[in-house]
Amino acid sequence: MGELRRALTRVDTTALAVGTMIGTGILLKPAVMAQEAGAAWSVLLAWVVGGALTLTATLTYAELGAMFPRAGGEYVYLREAFGRGPAFVFGAARWVVGAGAAAAYGVAFATFLAALVPLEPMARKLVAAAVIATLTALNCLGVRVGGRLQTVVAAAKVAGLLVLVVGLAAAVARGTASLAFLGPAHAVSGARGGLAGFGAAVLASVWAYAGWFMVSMAAGEVKDPRRVLPFALTTATFVVVALYVLVNVAFLAALPLDQIATASSTRFPHAPSVANRAATALLGGPGAAFATALFLVAVVGSLNGTMLAIPRVPYAMARDGVLPALFGRVGDRSHVPVWSIVALGALGTAFAWAGTFDQLTTTITLVYCVGFASNAVGLFRLRRRAPHAERPFRVPGYPVVPALFLLGSTGLLVNTSLTNPREATVAAALLVVCAAAYPLLRPRGQAPANGSPSASVDADRSDAPDAGLGVATSVAPSPRATSLSASSARSASEPLGAASTGDP
């Protein structure tokens, strides 16, 4: 059986972060945000607040990723902080919502393609299944294939969004667009408004920014991950936040707010998208075709990033013995977890036959927020329980930055659960099912490891070559950190790329 190969360079890893962040959200979610927030200034502020929350998140994950640079990402961080049980619950839920994300991208691809080629409802479902199957097959060929595709697509997406910004500048110069869109006259009647509406708008922006955490899941295939992961996460965040704010200024300057609010969304499923309307206003006749092409490229990049990263979660879980060993098998030639990739593609295809884009993404984002809050708490727990563990990157502004991340994630979770009770019920049910499944899948004779970081680490070292996390202590460890460092001694004595057999 093969092993994972560290083949993703700094450019590949940064492109993975940028490419998974820039997706359908920036092209579709402004409609929902206008419906919820109700005012142009509130929509822009929601993008800024969502970007700030994302920055606190990426800085938090940068410390955890540099500390535990292994395949599985958040599953690994939660396992080290809280033990196998809580890690299993979120890891399994992350796998399922990852399939939901793949489904949302497949549905979006078919929806956008229908703007060029008329498609009946059944044909759209078949197109969604076909694009998921295609990218599943490509990622089964190897991480280099998925990584190179992600780099090309990320560059194309950034270039496409910049075209909209340049189009805005030209339209303002011609006098056909105005930046005077922040006044009270620019408001949507019937919007939820208030704190609840603003919170819902921020949640929508979080979906648009989401994707950066995919990098942590693929950390087992990143070259020099202790340096590259923090660089990729922070660089991608600054680039995407700046770009998103500029693009939304273009949308708001090109279109009246009511045209944004009545664009394609759950409320207006057959309306043109925000990007389509704005591109037509800014670029003229070719604008609609340009917007459609940008949509298709954005979806391909997001779906490819999902297929590249999410399967590493069941891979890590299988290596820990809490999922069938099949999911932990790596191809001898491809050096990727083929069966985990195939399973994600199959589940995503099944999900693509049910649910709308906004329903899927709201449920997914709720589960994201649970994971975000849990990992923020996990960072505090690891700082306290293992203060002397090696940390190649430390969160600047600790403890304020991770505390803001925790508060923001919790606030979004509560607000969205109250405003979207059906999606919240689905997300809660998923977590309950995953919790109920853990006792059934835990290896026989193994006691639950839910109490402390040391309990988790001690319990997790006997399964796979990839299980050792290589946490070294730079000074004499405290008693609380003894188990963490001792249990990692085997992997700490090996190079970080020990699971990268054959890496050139």
**What angle, rounded to 10 degrees, do the helices at 338-351 and 312-319 form?**
130
pLDDT in the model for residue 107: 86
Three-state DSSP state, 450: coil
Q: What is the mean pLDDT of residues 170-196?
A: 74
Question: How many other CB atoms sit within 10 Å of the CB of residue 208?
Answer: 27
Rounded Cα distance, 334 and 340, in Å: 13
Quick: pLDDT tens for 8-28: 999 999 999 998 899 878 988
Residue 268 burial by CB count (10 A; 0-12/13-18/19+): exposed, middle or buried? middle
- Look up residue 454 and give its two tokens: 């040391």
In CATH terms, the fold of domain 10-452 is: Amino acid/polyamine transporter I (1.20.1740)
- pTM, whole model, 2 decimals? 0.82
Burial class from Cβ neighbours inside 10 Å (0-12, 13-18, 19+) for residue 302 reads: buried
pLDDT at 490 (0 to 100): 33
* pLDDT in the model for residue 356: 60
Please tell me what DSSP assigns to residue 353: T
Q: Quick check: 303 pLDDT over 80? A: yes
Instruction: Give every CB contact of residue 465 below 8 A, 6+ residues apart in sequence.
Output: 3, 498, 499
Among the listed ranges 241-250, 262-271, 289-298, which one has the minimum average pLDDT value? 262-271
- Angle 198-422-208 (CA atoms, 0-180°, nearest 5)? 45
Alpha carbon of residue 297 to chain centroid: 17
Does residue 452 have a pLDDT over 60? Answer: no
Q: Which residues pair with 39 in a beta bridge?
A: 187
Other Cβ atoms within 10 Å of 187 Cβ, number: 18
Chain segment 200-226, per-residue pLDDT in tens: 899 889 889 988 999 999 999 999 999
User: What integer best gives the mean pLDDT of the chain?
Assistant: 84
Which of 73-87, 280-294, 353-367, 461-475 has the highest mean predicted lDDT (pLDDT)? Answer: 73-87
Among the ranges given (73-77, 213-217, 234-238, 291-295), the one the predictor scored with the smallest mean pLDDT: 291-295
Is the pLDDT at 489 greater than 60? The verdict is no
Q: Is the pLDDT of residue 163 over 50?
A: yes
Q: Select the more confidently predicted residue: 456 or 157.
A: 157
